[in-house]
Structure 1
């Protein structure tokens, strides 16, 4: 039996997990085309704009005529600009024809998408003549029986008032995401969506995000943001990106059931409040590293996923940061029976990296399946500059990976952890050296980052497994992915085994791919 002789159900399951170009798979044969179709057509983008005007209109017309498999399989819909008035290079006659085609097809096209569960609407503004498109989208969303996830990104002031969209007929929502460029615009968007919050008592996930701070706007509580809330929400997930929430009594009522929190550049008082209110999280991701964080983590047990992001700040008190790190890793011992994923990404060297201060605690996390941490480097000497011929200002540092008190390379200590614990994926990251902290542009580190990454690669290749079992983990380190292969039990560079890896080393600190 060949691969293509498998049942359609098995082919669908296999293609779901295969990181391949599904458009290419569809051309292999009829059976594979049928198997890939539900995944290929699962996500739809509607965008009538610029040079895509004819393509966008034709796409809408195919949907309206019922000649598209997106009507059958699409469960995620992304809506961008629906006004041909901004089309590049179009004359008045072309725009008139395009508007007529849009009016004939938009409502029918949307009505064909009855299986949509997630709507992402990226809205900026629209000309007065095309306000009807906004109302059409609003009516369509109100008709969706399966809609659970709505994500609205907009900077339009008074969105609901200006565009007659109160969303008061949507009642099955489970997740809401509101995104704007700054906190003040986000507050207006929240007030516009107030009826949406009030009419969806089963809402369990709320995401509020901005791109930047602007003059540190005042904190607002839930009552300020969402005027139509009557009964407390039972939020299990809250994500706040660059937005500070005032933690008054009215807000806390909505957080009693909270289990997952993403807090980035938010209100640092959150930890004291969660501690005092005995709200115990199982999923926590944050860059708010203050005294209250380790105290909160120490107050209970049961944390399962934890992400700590130490952002680089040239003015940071490194001694205080190291003290917080020691408290943090001590607090982790309260979760040794539950923690399955730990990411501790420090932008600079210190005790947040893998070291003698935390290896013992990490070894106790016997359920850990994913680990991402930094390793520190040291200057082992200097090479005379080819230009100066001496060891003065022009000398280049010889950079090595830090060793522990017993002389073991910290990359090797990291890999020992990987082999002792049930870890399936791991990331070893370089950290920003303290000796370059005064160089706020990071020129010294960037110029030497290749050396540090090369040393990480070298250390992984030199490591020899001494465990009784073969490690099954995939390790991202230096420039490569590694797995233990061959009879010598050494780590060997392999092709990327998982295309969803979140880090790459194109940038010294790693970046989201």
Structure 2
């Protein structure tokens, strides 16, 4: 019956199958192959340690000559140095790219440039990648007319010379470690950002100072032609500086998502937290949908009386992640910070998810927050689900995103069989579909 179904239904069926099953389904007949090809070939992985293998070079050659399905259907490319080192590779630091002849650099450029429908490139740059590999990949990026999302993960201070990509709307760069080459990398980012007028989402993560990027973006807002100005709608960074906050304060009611990743609270100067809550958030109060400021153990990045008004003004906010001082259930102002945050969240009409983290890292800090949540009662209804960080477990690892979920429900009455009009937070089963969806959002 499958060959007699319309293409749309076949592709809906195929989208539910793993890649191995899609491969088998393509082999049934020509019609099924034509229907499943756009799904099977939508994702291409280029692993450097496989280039020296015969089948790897064969695929690259067929891509360069436009004789394989990825040329027509690929939407996403993952470029990685390789997986596990084997044999002598382990002694020299892991898998490497191995050119077979002098023609391979041009062949690699042609292979990547042949996939003209590529929209997303995820590129992990390894310090042992030869310069010709990095140059070949960088040269091919600006030949992709529909490339809108570039995600870079750069290890060991590797330098890549990026060219402007006018169609880019999302740029993500994660520096694994600080190296002198990072300064050059920031210049490359400035070159890309300065010529990318459609940029809407930017993530600059990892060790390093990106002040030059924020200064450039602020200067671009002064350009006479409106289409050459960049107003970011989504921003993620781990290094907060005065230049960043000055840029975000220079335009208003456009920013929709902002995430300040740890360890931002440990490396910036004084007064920036007040600027963020008193100036940046009010400037975008009518547009912000998601705010995440975790890891604020020091200064005024934690939630309390000093920034409650700024949070209350975010009437369209859907997800919020803040830290609180958890010792003795209160903050430095003598107020139960968890109770204050829960009361504030109940007044935000669009809020769907509130995540609360402990500012301090000590044994029992997460337990203190969970106890404060479970002890909280209110007559005010709220549709937001509260997420509290679960206690650290060595088995799960320190970087685990484990959470305990809570939602409001009528408290148990003193009368048997009765439900109180007072609401209290009750634990939500983490295996429920709603909890899984929320976990994916935050």
TM over 0.5: yes
CA contact (8 A) 1:120 1:151 kept: yes
Among candidates 303, 306, 313, match of residue 354 of structure 1: 303
Residues 187-266 of structure 1 mapped to structure 2, 5 A cutoff: 187=160, 190=161, 194=163, 197=164, 201-214=166-179, 216-217=180-181, 219-220=183-184, 243-245=185-187, 253-254=194-195, 256-264=197-205, 265-266=208-209
Deviations 1:167-192 (A, max 9, x none): 38644433334443233x232xx36x
**Structure 2: how far apart are the matches of 1:162 and 1:326?**
43
Distance 1:259 1:85, change over 3 A: closer
**Aligned CA distance change for structure 1 residues 257 and 107 (closer, same or farther; 3 Å):** closer
| Match runs of 1:271-290 below 5 Å | 271-278=214-221, 279-290=230-241
Q: Is the 8 A contact 2:238 2:264 kept in 1?
A: no
Shift of 1:308: 1.8
Structural mapping, 1:59-138, within 5 Å: 71-74=37-40, 75-80=42-47, 83=50, 99=54, 103=58, 107=62, 111-113=68-70, 114-123=72-81, 125-129=96-100
Give the secondary structure class of the aligned counterpart of 1:219: helix
CA change 1:292–1:126 in 2 (3 A) is: closer
CA–CA distance in 2 between the matches of 1:119 and 1:39? 21
Q: Deviation of residue 299 (structure 1)?
A: 2.8
CA shift for structure 1 position 144:
3.2
1:485 aligns with 2:409: yes
Tell me the CA shift for residue 369 of structure 1. Answer: 0.9
Q: 1:333 is paired with a residue of what secondary structure?
A: helix
Find the residue that maps to 1:40 and give its secondary structure. Answer: coil
Answer yes or no: is the 8 Å Cα contact 1:80–1:122 preserved in 2: yes
- Contact 2:171–2:201 at 8 Å: present in 1 too? no
Report Cα offsets for 1:182-220 as digits up to 9, x if no partner: 33x232xx36xx5xx5xx643444444432222x33734
The structure-2 alpha-carbon separation of the partners of 1:177 and 1:289, relative to structure 1 and needing over 3 Å to count, comes to closer
Q: 1:471 matched to which residue of 2?
A: 382
In structure 1, the partner of 2:341 is 414
- Residue ranges of structure 2 left out of the alignment (5+ in a row): 83-95, 222-229, 391-403, 411-418
User: Would the alpha carbon gap of residues 417 and 163 (structure 1) be closer, same or farther in structure 2, given more than 3 Å must change?
Assistant: closer
Aligned mates of 1:364, 1:428 — CA distance in 2: 19
Q: 1:326 aligns with which of 255, 266, 274?
A: 274
Task: Kindly indicate whether the alpha-carbon contact (under 8 Å) linking 2:325 and 2:332 is maintained by their aligned counterparts in 1.
Answer: no
User: Which residue among 129, 134, 147 is the counterpart of 1:173?
Assistant: 147
Name 1:435's counterpart in structure 2.
Answer: none
1:21 corresponding residue in structure 2: none
Considering only CA atoms, is the larger Rg found in Structure 1 or Structure 2? Answer: 1
Post-superposition shift, 1:483? 1.1
Please give the residue correspondences for 1:292-441 in structure 2 after superposition, counting only pairs within 5 Å.
292-302=243-253, 303-311=255-263, 321=270, 323-331=271-279, 332-378=281-327, 400-403=328-331, 408-421=335-348, 422-432=350-360
Residues 475-484 or 281-290, more deviating? 281-290
> Is contact 1:461–1:492 with CA below 8 Å preserved after alignment?
yes
Distance 1:272 1:34 in 2: 47
User: How much does 1:454 deviate?
Assistant: 1.0
Cα distance change of structure 1 residues 305 and 65 upon mapping to structure 2, 3 Å threshold: same
**1:424 and 1:473 in contact (8 A); partners too:** yes
Q: How many residues align?
A: 375
Q: CA deviation at 1:376?
A: 0.5
